[in-house]
Amino acid sequence: MRLADIVGELELDVLVGPTLEEEVTGGYVSDLLSVVMANAKEGQLWITLQGHQNIIAVAVLVDLAGVIIAGGVKPDPETRIKAKEEGINLFTTSLPAYETAGRLYGLGVSG
């Protein structure tokens, strides 16, 4: 599924969106950076509650399709800057992480 379609269906707020035509290969949910680095796969969309700039470094390392910051958490200003510099799609939603993951799964995006 295209990232642009997911953004529309989940009503995500796009903070940085350089490549919304990218295909998403799956989803991953975790707040432990080391767990994401070890287990997330290239092209997946990561759901987290963290808003600091280290999430962008992890997204670059794993080559993720993007990062959704859930639960109404607002990222640090540095996080937005880093996402733009690195070309990482960055979104927010007021939905809890659990519901965000459930809706993503309901769209046919598996883990």
Q: For residues 32 and 50, what is the distance between their CA atoms, to the nearest angstrom?
A: 9
Q: What angle do CA 27, 16, 6 make, to 5 degrees?
A: 40
Residue 50's domain comprises: 3-106
Task: Note whether residue 100 is domain-resident.
Answer: yes
pLDDT of res. 45: 98
Tell me the whole-structure pTM to 2 decimals. 0.96
Q: Residue 17: inside a domain, yes or no?
A: yes
DSSP state of 23: B
90 with 83: CB under 8 angstroms? yes
Report if residue 111 sits inside a domain: no
The total domain count for the chain is 1
Kind and range of the H or E run holding 69: strand 66-69
Would residue 13 count as lying in a domain? yes
pLDDT tens readout for residues 3-53: 999 999 999 999 999 889 999 999 999 999 999 999 999 999 999 999 999
User: Is 66 a member of any domain?
Assistant: yes
Say which CATH number the domain at 54 has: 3.40.1390.20
Is 72 contained in some domain? Answer: yes
